[in-house]
């Protein structure tokens, strides 16, 4: 069984004793750390810059983020430096936002690295390579490990068998596909789903703290996975018959382009389209909504739709109301990089694009526009009261949290809002300059 480190347990106990409905300063970012990295060269030769994103815990019990010292990332928990690394990914949290984790690595030799899963501020064992880290309920980490991984002269990793970790359990070794897939946990923490390569094809791998099972169905590639809150339904976006290609991208000579499919519970829910994002299930797991691509346009469909419309330059992951009576999603008008179409994220702000927040009630196919022509939208969240909805809106370079007629002060950055059970108050984390705050608003 995965156990919470003693230091993290004491910190969690102290934080839980704080009043979640009182504003307070959580931390100040050290003056000698930056909010963006120095430009670094990616393996494909392009320059890239990493940016800070702050993630706040339940009731404001923690704030975690990546700061930068030159090109190196600095893992931060509040004002505490956990470590500095050559590679550092944005922190992730579990479904209840009670635990947090980083994926971090260092290049120790020209052809060798050391990677760690940092859970609740505690740096775990060193590995030759690990994939992205996801957290299950209770802070149980899941990630792929590649023992003996080496960096080749072209910057790519060598290929060798991998094994899947769930908490303290290490799974059996699978073929040499380098899995960068983010594993998806059920909200109840009972199961986690990912994908593994076997004999040159990919299959879903479903695991828990005791065992793992490789599905018998296989595909040319598995792009993304999803799981219902109770762990009883599993979905995947897959490609069969050839490699995944963007619309209009020609296949290599002698190769056919792959066909994109959406698979739910082993069956085809949708095909004949040019790409899918992983579906989002309702709280009871009975329905799902998904983003799809047709040609250069994107749309959002429900599982019962037969001919869904694609009419947007971009569409973000849908969000279901608690009872499954409505679904909200962000759309954009303007140029969107193909690689950004299906990124799993909840912050939307791209240069040259304007954004809208839309809602579709269920049953029915009518779509209502709630907000239009924004510079950015983020953290769409339903409240406990009927038709209660929160979102962050960007204007003049600043973010404000909006709930009905109640609008917050402007901030450089805000995080996902958290409603009080009676729906009369909302709290959220926010950054103002170097100050990281827990903010509270009474709702009218």
Q: 42 falls in which pLDDT band (50, 70, 90)?
A: low
Residue 14 confidence (pLDDT) above 70 = no
- Predicted confidence at residue 171, as pLDDT, reads 95
- Torsion angle of the four alpha carbons 316, 322, 325, 328, in this order, in degrees rounded to the nearest 10: -20
Q: Is the pLDDT of residue 293 over 60?
A: yes
Q: What confidence score (pLDDT) does residue 1 get? A: 38
How large is the average pLDDT for residues 230-247? 88
Answer for the pair 135, 124: CB distance below 8 angstroms, yes or no: no
Per-range mean pLDDT, top range of 238-247, 269-278, 327-336, 431-440: 431-440
Residues 228 and 281: their CA atoms lie apart, in Å, by: 6
Q: Cβ-count burial of 395 within 10 angstroms (0-12 exposed, 13-18 middle, 19+ buried)?
A: exposed
Measured distance CA(103)–CA(119) in Å, rounded: 9
Query: Which one-letter DSSP state was computed for residue 9?
Result: H
Cα–Cα distance, 333 to 297 (Å, whole number): 10
Q: pLDDT band at residue 336, thresholds of 50, 70 and 90?
A: confident
Q: In this structure, are strands 162-166 and 169-174 parallel, antiparallel, or unpaired?
A: antiparallel
Residue 279 has a pLDDT of 94
- pLDDT number for residue 135: 97
* Beta strands across the sheet bearing 389-395: 347-348, 376-382, 389-395, 398-403, 406-407
pLDDT computed for residue 228 by the predictor: 97
- For 246, 262, 296, 341, 398, the CA distances from 338, given in Å and listed in that order, are 7, 19, 9, 5, 26
pLDDT band at 377; cut points 50, 70, 90: very high
83: its two tokens: 């470590």
Average pLDDT, the chain: 91
DSSP character for 59?
G
Contact yes or no for 135/120 (Cβ under 8 A):
no
Cα 184 to Cα 346: distance, rounded to the nearest angstrom:
16
Maximum CA extent, the chain = 64
- At residue 248 the predicted structure's pLDDT band, cuts being 50, 70 and 90, is low
For 107-128, what is the mean pLDDT?
96
* Rounded distance between C-alpha atoms, residue 386 and residue 219, angstroms: 42
DSSP 339: G
- Cα separation, 60 vs 26, in Å, equals 8
Calpha distance 46→393 (Å, rounded): 31
Q: How confident is the model at residue 43 (pLDDT cuts 50, 70, 90)?
A: low
Tell me the two tokens of residue 285: 């797991």
Lowest mean pLDDT across 4-13, 31-40, 204-213, 351-360? 4-13
Instruction: Give the tokens for residue 437.
Output: 């705050």
CA dihedral 143, 144, 150, 156 (to 10 degrees): -90
- Per-residue model confidence (pLDDT) at position 351: 79
């Amino acid at each position: 069984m995965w156990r919470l480190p003693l230091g993290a347990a004491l910190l969690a106990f102290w934080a839980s004793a704080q009043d979640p409905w009182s504003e307070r300063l959580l931390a100040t970012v050290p003056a000698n750390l930056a909010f963006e990295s120095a430009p670094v060269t990616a393996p494909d030769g392009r320059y890239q810059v990493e940016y800070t994103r702050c993630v706040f815990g339940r009731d404001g019990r923690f704030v975690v983020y990546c700061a930068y010292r030159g090109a190196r990332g600095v893992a931060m928990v509040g004002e505490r430096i956990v470590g500095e690394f050559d590679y550092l990914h944005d922190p992730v949290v579990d479904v209840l936002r009670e635990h947090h984790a980083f994926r971090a690595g260092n290049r120790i030799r020209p052809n060798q690295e050391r990677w760690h899963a940092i859970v609740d501020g505690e740096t775990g064992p060193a590995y030759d390579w690990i994939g992205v880290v996801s957290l299950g309920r209770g802070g149980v980490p899941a990630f792929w490990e590649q023992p003996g991984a080496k960096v080749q002269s072209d910057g790519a990793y060598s290929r060798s068998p991998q094994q899947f970790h769930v908490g303290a359990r290490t799974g059996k070794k699978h073929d040499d596909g380098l899995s960068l897939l983010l594993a998806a946990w059920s909200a109840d923490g009972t199961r986690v789903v990912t994908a593994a390569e076997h004999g040159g094809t990919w299959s879903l791998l479903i695991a828990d703290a005791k065992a793992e099972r490789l599905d018998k169905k296989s595909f040319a590639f598995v792009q993304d996975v999803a799981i219902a809150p109770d762990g009883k339904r599993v979905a995947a976006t897959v490609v069969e018959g050839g490699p995944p290609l963007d619309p209009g991208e020609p296949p290599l000579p002698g190769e056919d382009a792959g066909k994109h499919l959406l698979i739910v519970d082993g069956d085809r829910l949708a095909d004949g389209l040019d790409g899918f994002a992983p579906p989002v299930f309702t709280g009871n797991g009975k329905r799902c909504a998904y983003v799809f691509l047709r040609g250069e346009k994107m749309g959002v469909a429900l599982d019962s739709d037969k001919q869904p419309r694609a009419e947007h330059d971009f569409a973000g992951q849908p969000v279901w109301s608690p009872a499954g009576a409505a679904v909200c999603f962000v759309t954009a008008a303007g140029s969107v990089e193909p690689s950004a179409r299906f990124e799993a994220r909840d912050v939307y702000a791209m240069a040259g694009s304007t954004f809208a927040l839309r809602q579709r009630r269920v049953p029915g196919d009518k779509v209502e526009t709630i907000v239009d022509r924004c510079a950015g939208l983020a953290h769409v969240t339903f409240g406990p009261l009927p038709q209660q909805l929160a979102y962050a809106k960007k204007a003049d370079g600043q973010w404000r949290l909006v709930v009905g007629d109640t609008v917050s002060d402007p901030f450089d950055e805000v995080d996902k809002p958290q409603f009080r059970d009676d729906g009369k108050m909302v709290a959220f984390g926010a950054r103002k300059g170097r100050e990281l705050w827990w903010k509270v608003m009474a709702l009218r």
